[in-house]
Amino acid sequence: MAPFHAVKCCQRGLSWIPVIFINLVVCWSYYAYVVELCIFIYLLVFHVFFFMFIWSYWKTIISKPASPSKEFCLPKVDKELYEKEENPEAQQEILKRVARNVFIYTCTGSGAIRYCDRCQLIKPDRCHHCSTCDRCVLKMDHHCPWVNNCVGFSNYKLFVLFLAYSMLYCVYIAATVLQYFIKFWTNHLPDTHAKFHVLFLFFVAAMFFISILSLFSYHLWLVGKNRTTIEAFRAPVFRNGPDKNGFTLGFRKNVTQVFGDQKKCWCLPIYSSLGDGYTFPTRLVNADSEQGNAEHQAIKCTVDGQTNPRPLSESQNHLLGNDMHSEEQKDSSPTNIEVCQPVSITMENES
């Protein structure tokens, strides 16, 4: 066991190398820009971008990824039965019995309950196990070595803002240093050691800006589609099969789910996402809406008429919106609905 723990400690120490590298580059860029270049009119805007970049970066690093609660773990009796049982079908029956007490839509490719043998729990929708962090993470997007942390439900907004402010930080440095970079090549810059800082400052800022721009654009696209990086490569599987558009609610509501419904908080690296990370409003489709051939099948607030043990939060019901309900009422005959009772809202397949 001792060598195993030693290896684990070494891995944890090495995982901080990318973070240390980024911080060293940022410290050097601050020195080169503020001390060596030192143009007062530029420094005011520079420090705004610098502060927001550092704030969002370290918030992403220190934000602990959210994990499933104990209600998704198997009870002691069922856990013992599951471990003793060698028949996969019998194990699935145990998981299905326990899964009746939780709220899940997605399953494996074969239609089985998504279960993590490592964490010994039933995975909520959009939850995945991170081998690096050795834990299941709610709405996991990916593990980022540059922040030495898992990016998921609890810090995805912070990660997107980190990309945004790091990109603005780099492009601002590159734009303001460009004129001195040109003077360097035309031999109009004084021959001091500062000119080498100016040269490398422009190259580093431009290089990071180009690489971050592509990553930032990709994640903006994911936000607009309400997908994670994992879901973009492997579509979530619902009862009617894989569907990469299963969680999309439309561009505006997709953005609101990540950044919150208070626009004044969108640009601040503070948590404001909607929902609880366990349940998500769904719009199940069995065709790609990007190809203009979408057939809306179901939007449910309960599971097969059974009361949802974890009801949709107020923010999640807000995401569904009144416009969705009014559209469905136009296509159905008038019926009496008790407002206080949970309802299952379904839409017939469009032929």
Is residue 348 included in any domain, yes or no? no
Q: Has residue 251 got a pLDDT over 70?
A: yes
Range of the domain at 111: 70-123
Active site residue 127: no
Note whether residue 280 is domain-resident: no
Do 195 and 247 lie in one domain? The reply is yes
Does 253 share its domain with 109? Answer: no
Question: C-alpha 182: how far from its chain's center?
Answer: 40
187, 238: one domain: yes
Question: Which of 133, 144, 150, 170 does the annotation list as catalytic?
Answer: 144
Residue 5 has pLDDT above 80, yes or no: no
Same domain, 94 and 216: no
223 domain residue, yes or no:
yes
**Domains in the chain, number:** 2
Residue 35 lies in a domain: yes
* pLDDT score of 283 more than 90: no
Q: What is the pLDDT of residue 317?
A: 45
- Residue 128: inside a domain, yes or no? no
Q: What is the pLDDT of residue 322?
A: 40
Domain end, chosen from 265, 285, 318, is at: 265
Residue 80 lies in a domain: yes
Q: What is the mean pLDDT of the chain?
A: 79
pLDDT digits (tens, 9 = 90+) for 318-331: 454 444 443 444 34
Give the residue-averaged pLDDT of 80-86.
Answer: 87
**Final residue before a domain boundary, out of 230, 245, 265:** 265
Q: What is the tens place of the pLDDT at every residue in 15-24?
A: 888 899 999 9
Assigned domain for 240 exists: yes
Q: Which of 246, 265, 284 is a domain's end point? A: 265
Please check whether residues 179 and 192 belong to one and the same domain: yes
Residue 311 maps to a domain:
no
This prediction's pTM: 0.78
